[in-house]
Amino acid sequence: MTNDLTRYDVGIIGGGPAGYTTAFYEVSKGKSVVLFEKDKLGGTCLNRGCIPTKAFMHVADLYTEMKSADKLGLMCENIDVDFEKVVEYKNGVVQKLLKSLELMVKNAKIKVVNAEAKVVADDKVLADGEEYCCDEIVVATGSKPRVIKGLEYDHEFILSSDDILAMTKLPKSIVIVGSGAIGIEWARILSAFGVEVSVVELAERLVPLADWEVSKRVERIFKMKKIKTYLSTCVEKIVNKKVVLSNGEELEPECVLVAVGREAVRPNTEFDVECIGDACGEIQLAHYAMSQAKDLALGIPFDKKLVPSVIYGTPEIAWVGEVSKCKEEDENYQKSVILVSALGKSQCDNSTEGFIKILAKENKIVGASIVSKEASSLVQQLVIAIQNEISVDELKKVCFAHPTYSEGIFEGLMRL
C-alpha cells in the first residue's frame, strides 16, 4: 500500500558508492531521500571488493618488507603469518568503515529500507510489501562476478572474488584466471603469503588494458616473485580438479580463482529511471560511480576518458588517458620515461622498482602510466593536468618538492 508518509523526492535502489553518494548529494540540496539496500551499506567496494582487498594487501606488503628488513639493519626473526588474525584485521577495517558510513547516513536523515526493492512504476518502488512514491528513481544495483561457461563457481574449488575474500585458510596453490586488477592484486597478495600462484591470461600480455611497458614490467616482477604466467592461454576445462590449459598443460592447484571481471546487475524495467555505477556496465570502478553520482545530483560533469585506473601492491600500477598498446604506437607521441630508481626518495625507501611514462601531443599531456610506490596518488596530478589542458611548458614552471616520487613527473616533463 502507499501513503503520504512514504513519499520521497528521490528513491535510490542500491547502497554502494553510486547509491550512497547520490543520497548524500541529494540531501545536501534539501531533498528527501529513501535508500533501499537488501544487504549492507557500502556495496561491493566496502564489503567484498576495494577495502577488504587493500587490507589484505597492506598486510602482504608489510610481511614482504619485514622478511627483507635485515638488509636495513632490522633483525626480524621467526616472522610468520597467522592468517586468522589477518582475516580479523581485514574484517575490523570493513566494520569500522561500515559503522562510519551508517552513522553518516543516519546523521544525514536518509531513510534506509533494508529490503530488496523493485521498480513498479515511473514513480513507485516496492520493498518489503510496501510501495514508496518517489519523484525520481535511481538504480544503482551494482555488479556481480562474471561467470565463464565451463568455469561456473562451486564456491569450494572454483572461486569468485567474493569467495576468495571470505577464505579463512590460505591454499597451498592457486590458479588465477585473468590478469586485470582483481587477478593481479590477488596474485600479489597470495604470493606474498607463500602460496604457489599461476596466472592464466587469454591475451598475449598481462594487464592487457594497460600500456605495453606496464605489462612488460609486471611480467618481470612476477618472474622475480616466482609467479607463473601463461599468456595467450585459456582454461579449456577442469576435470577432477585438474586444470587443463589450451597449451596442453595440466595444473593441479588447491583451488581456482576466476577473475575475469564483473557483470552488471540491472533489474529488467521499462520504467523511466536513472542508472548509475556498476549497474550501467560501463567503467566498473567506485570512483567512476561516485563521479556519476556527482554529475547526476549536482550537475558537475566529468570526462569519462580521464578516469584513472589503479592496481595495488608493491609497486602500485596506475594509468590515465591514452596508452600505447605496443612499442610501435609510442611513435605517435612525444614520450618520456623516467626510472623510479633514479629518484632519491625511492632509494631511501628501498622501493626502486618501476617507471613514470608520460605521453604528449602538441605540448599537452594526453596519457600517463606509472609503476611505482605511491602511483595511485601520483596519477592524480596527471589527471588534473590532462583534464585542464595545462601545457607541458606551464607544468615545467611548477616547483616539485624534494625528495619525492613526484619529482619523477617533473623529470619526465623536462624531457618532453
Write down the CATH superfamily of domain 305-414.
Answer: FAD/NAD-linked reductase, C-terminal dimerisation domain (3.30.390.30)
In CATH, what class is 4-144+263-298?
A: alpha beta
Decide: 135 and 124 in contact? Cβ < 8 Å.
no
Edge-first strand order for the sheet with 235-239 is 235-239, 242-245, 250-251
Residue 46 has pLDDT above 50, yes or no: yes
Going by pLDDT thresholds of 50, 70 and 90, the confidence category of residue 5 is low
Q: Which DSSP state fits 164?
A: H
Mean predicted confidence (pLDDT) in 347-356: 97
Q: Among 1, 18, 28, 21, which Cα is nearest to 9's?
A: 28
Residue 6 has pLDDT above 90, yes or no: no
**Tally of CB atoms within 10 A around 223:** 11
Residue 4 has pLDDT above 90, yes or no: no
pLDDT tens, position by position, 78-93: 899 999 999 999 999 9
Strands (E) located in 163-293: 173-177, 196-200, 228-230, 235-239, 242-245, 250-251, 255-258, 262-264, 274-275
Decide: 174 and 199 in contact? Cβ < 8 Å.
no
Residues written for the chain: 416
Q: Return the minimum-mean-pLDDT range out of 2-16, 129-143, 170-184, 352-366.
A: 2-16
To which residue does cell 631511501 refer?
348
Mean predicted confidence (pLDDT) in 33-56: 98
Three-state helix/strand/coil letters over 1-52: CCCHHHEEEEEEECCCHHHHHHHHHHHHCCCCEEEECCCCCCHHHHHHCHHH
pLDDT value at residue 3: 47
pLDDT tens, position by position, 184-228: 999 999 999 999 999 999 999 999 999 999 999 999 999 999 999
Its pTM surpasses 0.85 = yes
Residue 311 has pLDDT above 80, yes or no: yes
pLDDT tens, position by position, 240-259: 999 999 999 999 999 999 99
Going by pLDDT thresholds of 50, 70 and 90, the confidence category of residue 51 is very high
pLDDT value at residue 267: 79
Residue 348 has pLDDT above 60, yes or no: yes
Angle subtended at Cα 88 by Cα 285 and Cα 225, rounded to the nearest 5 degrees:
65
* Cis amide bond preceding 52, omega within 30: no
Report CA Rg, the chain: 23
CA dihedral (57, 62, 63, 64) positive or negative = positive
pLDDT tens, position by position, 27-36: 999 999 999 9
CATH 3.30.360.10 fits 147-260, yes or no: no
Judge if 4-144+263-298 and 147-260 fold alike in CATH terms.
Answer: yes
Going by pLDDT thresholds of 50, 70 and 90, the confidence category of residue 285 is very high
Decide: 217 and 354 in contact? Cβ < 8 Å.
yes
Domain residue extents for the chain: 4-144+263-298, 147-260, 305-414
